[in-house]
Amino acid sequence: MNPDRIHRWGVLAVIAFTGPIAAAALLGCGTDTPNQHHTTTTVGAARTPPTGLRWWPFQGVDLPVTNQGPRTVEWAVASGFDRSPAGAAVAAIQATVRTSIATDAQWPQIGARMLAPGPARDAWAVARAQISITAPILDGAPKILGYVVSRYTLDASEVDIYSLHPDNSLTRNHTTVLWQHDDWRLALPDTVSATAPPVTAVAVTPPDLVVLTPR
């Protein structure tokens, strides 16, 4: 598989963590005090697909908009997701794609409002400031097939996002979202402690995939 396909929209997240930790001022540095909700959900709830699915384009990639969120799309920032497995999954998809392919004018707001604060976000901002994206993907954009919620609590959820690329290859993007400021925010991985890259090639989609209806 061509590595460029694997990182089509994840390239910024992959390279960002090699940069210095120095961009807190760019994105703000507020943090949340963790609450004490640790209730897990049932397998059935985790596999329940979102309702009211429709697709809205962002920078050449179609993104799911559902009854579970986002309820607001303000310029480049999507917000307002249900505190549920489906809400967490859609939030993970929205944040991952928007963070990765936002233009130079869009990324500061997306980073500040859709990413969880911390060293990984700071490093991403440093790396992102060193490159330029000014146009949408005009050809070869990946398509989101669905997701698997591998872990869900009221405070944190892990979501594997599956995508199909123009060469018919498949990728899985492992993501984590945290409930902060009354919404889900994407927690970028810390490469210091990461044991595997977040984006990997896969042969097939899993049987428990929550399929998002094709466009």
Say if residue 193's pLDDT is above 60: no
Residue 119 is assigned to a structural domain of this protein: yes
Residue 181 is assigned to a structural domain of this protein: yes
- Tell me the average pLDDT across 135-161: 95
CA distance 211 to 124: 30
Between residues 5 and 203, the one the model is more confident about:
203
Residue among 117, 114, 166, 115 nearest 139 (CA):
166
Task: Provide DSSP, 43-100.
Answer: HHHHTPPPSS-EEEEETTEEEEEBTTB-SEEETTEEE---SSHHHHHHHHHHHHHHHH
Say if residue 106's pLDDT is above 90: yes
Residue 78 is assigned to a structural domain of this protein: yes
Residue 132 is assigned to a structural domain of this protein: yes
Beta bridge partners of 161: 147, 173
Mean pLDDT value across the chain = 83
- Over residues 14-54, the pLDDT tens digits come to 333 222 222 333 344 343 433 444 455 567 889 999 999 99
Residue 36 is assigned to a structural domain of this protein: no
Residue 39 is assigned to a structural domain of this protein: no
Give me the residue label for tokens 């400021």: 181
Domains identified in the chain, total number:
1
Least confident residue range of 18-32, 95-109, 122-136, 154-168 = 18-32
Residue 106 is assigned to a structural domain of this protein: yes
- Tell me the average pLDDT across 162-183: 96
Residue 107 is assigned to a structural domain of this protein: yes
Q: Which domain holds residue 113?
A: 3-16+52-211
Task: Provide DSSP, 134-148.
Answer: -S---S---EEEEEE
Confidence of residue 72 (pLDDT cuts 50, 70, 90): very high
